[in-house]
A and B are shown apart, each in its own frame.
Chain A
Amino acid sequence: MRKIVYLMLFTMVVFLSCKKDKTVQIHSVTVQLAYPANTSFSVTEGVTVKLAGKGSAFEVKTNAEGKATFFVPTDIYEISASDVRSSAGTAFIYNGLKSNVAITDGWNTTDVIKLDLVESKTSQLVIKEVFIGGTIKDDNSGNFSYDGYIVIYNNSSYVASTTNLCIGAIGPQTTQTTNNFYVNDKLMYEGENWIPLNTGFWYFQQGLTIEPGKQVVVALYNAVNNTLTHSRSINFDNKDYYVTYDIAGQFKNANYYIAPAASIPTSHYLKSMAFGTGNAWTPGVISPGVFLFETKGTTPIAFGADATNLVLSHKKVPTDWVIDGIEGFNLGSTANKKRFLPSIDAGYVYHTNRKEYSIYRNVDEAATKAIAGNEAKLKYGYSLGTVAQETTGGTTDPSGIDAEASIANGARIIYKDTNNSTNDAHLRSKASLRTN
């Protein structure tokens, strides 16, 4: 017995003696932006580069050589940069993202980290809002999860017409769990011009036309007036709304898919194509990853039925089919991993469910104010961000414009679209379709 006590004491002494004070090491880190070879644009001064570590984040603007130099403590960093240029009336977006960059005690300050930028263009149609986290039931018995929706918005000055518009979710469903698409810390489809579609997708039965500044609401589940039962929920009893409802298809879990409101015409029912085994479609409740795409050269049905475009049980969607995508990261996790390629969404916006939050697009203040007669209709003082509620990961619209109030006031809103949801979207405390 005494020997065991001695053994324990000895072990404690050994452990305690190993403890030593550590001083914080600061490293000089230089990032060099690299624009694609086939573009006429080159490095320039003033582009913001971000280094986001586990414990701190830094922003530095590039010099004329396209370099940004940081002085940062030891950490694992995510390096990102976003630049928008225009030429002959067309906007070109350059995004770059490099994850898991270890700046440690052995860091060589003369090393330069090259950040490759990927070119993309702005879209006519954007995902204005994703609401999937549910609302709190009136009796506080939990979360009502069947009132999700997304809003598709025509962010351009022209009428948007689509023929094979589809709504999909990127795989895997969550960003914080194992992602088998990562091979050696790199997405296997990086450089292959496709992204993985999870489980199945929805497509509009017929062509969809949206006027400039107008939107389409797509109810994802219970497309009825949910507020009759849960007052904080959403009323989808609206003839203009669309709904993902297809009882002849695979997604027909009775909890998620109840008969839509009679006011919604059946032509507004989206059809489903499934290739997984689930009986309900979800864009990812905790860390949604939603995107719009339009099949080219094939129909959604034929695309869905094609068995040759599956990898790891996900369907490969060519990146040039993708119209817009939003990456949601799990607010409660430090293990999030990117799913979208930088050409679709180079950033992310934190999200968490069960708090009534939605992901909402930021207002492009300059573009919005540039529309003649618009400025006077804009309502400022936006207060529905989540910076106050979520000290880590909470976000708000930096423009300060209350988009919904401004639209109600007759304003025309142009939303930010730099294909980088870190800049383009925020976590909104109250879904825009909620009325109370």
Chain B
Amino acid sequence: MSLITVVFIEFIQPNLKRSMLLFAVSLGFVGQLAAQYTISGKVFNRRNQEPVEFAIVSVPASGLWANANAKGEFIIKNIPAGKIKLTVQYLGFVKKEYDYVLDKNLTGLIFLLDEDNLTLSQVEITAKKGTDLATSFVLDRQALDHIQMLNVTDATALLPGGKTTGSTNIATTGAQRFQINGTTNQLGNATFGVGLEIDGVRITNNALRDATNGSADNPVAGPDTKNISTSNIESIEVITGIPSVEHGDMTNGMVRINTRKGISPYLIELSTQPNNKRIALSKGINLGRDNGVLNFSLDYTKSISNIASPYTAYDRNSVSINYNNTFNKKRGQPISLNVGLTGNIGGYNSENDPDLFLNTYTKVNDNVIRANFSAKWLINKPWITNLEASGNINYNDKLSEVSTRESATASKASVRTKNEGYHVGQTFETNPDAAIVLLPRGSWYEIKYSDNKLINYNARLKASLFKKIGKIDNNLLVGGDFSVSGNNGRGTYYGDLKYAPSWREYRYDQESFTNNYAAYAENTLTIPINRSNLQLITGVRSELTAINGSEYGNITNWSPRANVKYTFWERADHLVSDLNVKLGWGKTVKLPGFDALYSTPSFIDILTFSPGTTANGETFYGYYTMPRRRIFNPDLKWQSNVQREIAIGATIAGNRIFITAAQDKTNNPYNFNTVYEQFFYKQTTQAHLEASNIPAANRIYTVNPSSGIVTVTDKTGVVPTETLSYNPMYTFMTSTKYGNGSPVTRNRITWTVDFKQIKALRTTLRVDGNYNYYKGLEETLSAYMPNSSQLMANGQPYKYIGFFVGGARTSNGDITKSLDMNFTVTTHIPTIRLIVSARIEGSFFKFSRNISESAKGNRGFVLNSREGYEPSATETDIYGGNRFIGVYPEYYISIDDPSVKIPFAEKFLWAKDNDLALYNELAKMVIKTGQNYTFNSNNLSNYYSANFSVTKEIGRFASLSFFANNFFNNMAKVRSTWTNTESSLFGSSYIPPFNYGATLRLKM
């Protein structure tokens, strides 16, 4: 413990180094001197006075805990003396917290738990601030029920300043991803960096492939969440701050989903929205006689893309079973065991859509098996307090099957060879293994499969040691993770090779899995200082990633993190009843996806020979094939994020305020680059065949695989074999290279203000919001060719490559600023079990601007005219408004000698007066804006949307919820200063579409 604390103390306060060092080290020697006591008692349901079996009674600060038995009895021994906070909780009940000053054994305590329903005086339907030191927000069951999620990502609307999703259905092949610290349209792979766990099972996209093969999904993005059942969730915790070192492989926030565990009645949910229907059933069964609790949950969700044609759908058929029990209770060293299994069968399917041509469809499996176990043992010895072991496995079958009707009116080449060289086509009947298969003219079905089967499993072991020295609590946590990720998919393949287009087999299941070993240690120190309190968490996580079969080998990274919180006071009798300030600093690391680690083979096929098509629709193509592999980048660094955060929390006259300001700097975000290499080849055209004496119908074409020389043989043997002449050609070959982009900066301020309830109206007001600043500027140098098949004025292929700072685009980044704020008015009337909320989601400031900058200053320049290529002599500010902007490459190379880097601007301006032909060619590399408003500031006028929700409980056994999003169906207009135009909010991405739905819940 002490070592880590000392390291952090050195980090934050060097001047206190000596005194704190002595202080911290001393803890280890005096820790065992504190007196210890026992707390025991019973837990009952307040309503019926029945025992709450399995209720969890715990002292969180010390890690001590116990489960109530069938009589509701519990006992916790060896609790260090002093001030403690005791919590009592169980599924379906409101969590209770009690403060004690422990100076003797406390026995015979009676705790009465309230059932969690709308008869309570206070119900939260918004995101609550989490209790951990890491800044987080928790959405519990009441809040989730009230918004009636279709997908788990809908919950993020309840975060400060969050916005309701614009999706009214999930019947799409696209993914639904969490966006926490950053959004999809920003640089830095923001959704890829979000960590997602369900009951400790990590959901990851790392092993998904096809980054550059035009896949609808994108491996450099977060995992799809559509297969996660929304009906069995007890809470969702969203960590936006610096998380515990227990969590790795994430840079942009963490989402932890907890499912229901514990005794509960049958719960039936019937939910309907125009595009979606859902039926769910769940129950927690007490197996009796200390045999534990078995929870099961069934969820059927059908989402259709078009209510007028309800055939293309996404189906979710989820089953989950969870067993938990506590053993060894009598000996005071309970072992809590939890075992869970979840399965989902479903996915996207358009097979029954009558609007599609017969037998054409897209099916995408989204089948899942998740298994998890955890065992937590309260050993409660001087050398260890808790020992926790857990393991889990996640398997996700994402096989997609796409059937299309294809046709060709003449032979079509399907290049299959993996070998470099010249090849000529053959029919499948002649040679099914031909380098180039000639698909015959006609019509056929092409069934393409893309098979990703993602597997990840891990094992975790962690131990905690609590010590109390006087009033100081110290909790040391050490642990280790071993996780494995892999892909057992076949990759892309076709149902019938006779009709498969150009394709090469590349099986993902033949690639190695990656192993990741992590070790971490974290120390939590709590120091009461009079009425104040100082909490300090310091930790470090180290990971070793072992990648067999990859050039990257073994890579180690470190993630130090710290949070410190000072609570000035907590006194209910003060106007400011509590006040605290928190500081945080931490580094998180995101492991790369498999597409970066394994060199996915690719092939470049150049058409080199195409004789004319015969009257019967047959022809014979020749191609030069060049195998390419992703280029190994020895300088590749793991993407990381450093966050600095300050947060203030206070309660003033009963109004709760929480404000946090954070800066995220994402370093070395993963990106792709293109690398060009010169290449020369021979091209034989129809013109070279025109002198042939062999009748077209009698020709047999062969090509020398290495020289590319085409010969024509007379199948009748009458005419001697002919060798065709050719055109010498050149081009640039491309390869991709995984690299690291420029840093991305995100600053944000978030706030929540929960005003005290107006008791006369039983109404509360919550104001939450966020201010976000983002700057993404890509400054890495990347190569660009205007068009690899573009001809120059002399009829030859283009022969220059330009190298641009931040890519060949006019802007190499953008700045966005936004201020979103939501007002939620909630009226809760416990006596009639009713809660009504109206929420106005407002955008009060939205600014964006493209930027073109480099380390040298401005990267783009104002063009001298709309049609021009040179900088203006009078205008220099590209942000001056309504200006056409150009960008030059830094330098360029020629195929004649690629090693010579020629400064572009200098040569280009010289060529204008001295070499017009060169000027015209180089001008093709000048990137210009198509409109004069590209670099205008874009201030969007304010806009609003209003959501309305009602939940009414009908006795204890039923409840009905109704929601209407954007229920005024706002059709107002917003003005953009970018183009100085107005556009309607209706049908826009700014606000959600009008949507509504209802859910009936029955308890039996």
**Measuring CB to CB, which residues of chain A are less than 8 angstroms from any residue of chain B?**
1, 4, 137-142, 144, 146-147, 180, 222, 224-226, 228-230, 233, 237, 247-250, 252, 254, 258-266, 269, 272-275, 277, 279, 301-302, 304-313, 316
Contact = CB atoms under 8 A, between A and B. Distances in A.
B412 A258 contact: yes
Interface string B583-625: 0000000000000000000000001001111111101010000
A248 B686 contact: no
A436 to B, nearest CB: 15
Contacts of A260: 612-613, 686
B1003 interface: no
A311 B685 contact: no
B612 A142 contact: no
A274 B413 contact: no
Contact of B696 (A139, A224, A262, A279): A262
Interface of B: 357-358, 360, 405, 407-413, 441-443, 607, 610-617, 619, 621, 683, 685-687, 690, 696, 727, 729, 786-787, 789-795, 797, 834, 836, 838, 866-867, 869, 917, 919-921, 923-924, 928, 930-931, 948, 950
Contacts of B727: 248
A259 B611 contact: yes
5 contacts: A141-B360, A142-B405, A229-B409, A266-B686, A312-B930
B613 A258 contact: yes
B787 A274 contact: yes
Which 10 residue pairs spanning A and B have beta carbons closest together?
A: A262-B612, A305-B793, A307-B923, A141-B405, A226-B409, A259-B610, A250-B789, A266-B687, A141-B357, A229-B409
Nearest to A309: B867
A258 B619 contact: yes
Given A307-B869, A307-B919, A262 B614 contact: yes
Contacts of B930: 180, 312-313
Nearest to A140: B357
Contacts of B615: 225, 237, 261-263
B441 A228 contact: yes
B866 to A, nearest CB: 6
A247 B409 contact: no
Contacts of B409: 144, 146-147, 222, 224-226, 228-230, 233, 258
B921 to A, nearest CB: 8
Given A229-B407, A230-B407, A142 B614 contact: no
B613 A137 contact: no
B414 to A, nearest CB: 10
A224 B407 contact: no
B866 A1 contact: no
Contacts, number: 156
Nearest to A188: B866
A272 B836 CA distance: 67
Given A224-B617, A228-B409, A266-B690, A259 B790 contact: no
Contact of A137 (B358, B443, B867): B443
A224 B614 CA distance: 8
Given A250-B790, A307-B919, 9 more contacts: A225-B615, A228-B441, A228-B616, A229-B443, A248-B727, A260-B613, A273-B791, A305-B921, A307-B923
Q: Most A CB atoms within 10 A — which of B413, B619, B797, B869? A: B619
B895 to A, nearest CB: 16
Contacts of A306: 793, 920
A17 B874 CA distance: 58
Contacts of A222: 409-410
A275 B924 CA distance: 8
B867 A310 contact: yes
Nearest to B445: A141
Nearest to A299: B793
A247 B834 CA distance: 72
Q: Most A CB atoms within 10 A — which of B613, B683, B869, B919? A: B613
Contact of A274 (B360, B617, B790, B869): B790
Contact of A261 (B358, B613, B793, B920): B613
Contacts of B950: 1
B791 A250 contact: yes
Contacts of A138: 443
A274 B612 contact: no
Contacts of A258: 408-412, 613, 619
Contacts of A308: 867, 869, 920, 923
Contacts of A301: 793-795
Contact of A247 (B360, B411, B607): B607
Nearest to A147: B409
Contacts of B924: 275, 307
A99 to B, nearest CB: 19
B913 to A, nearest CB: 13
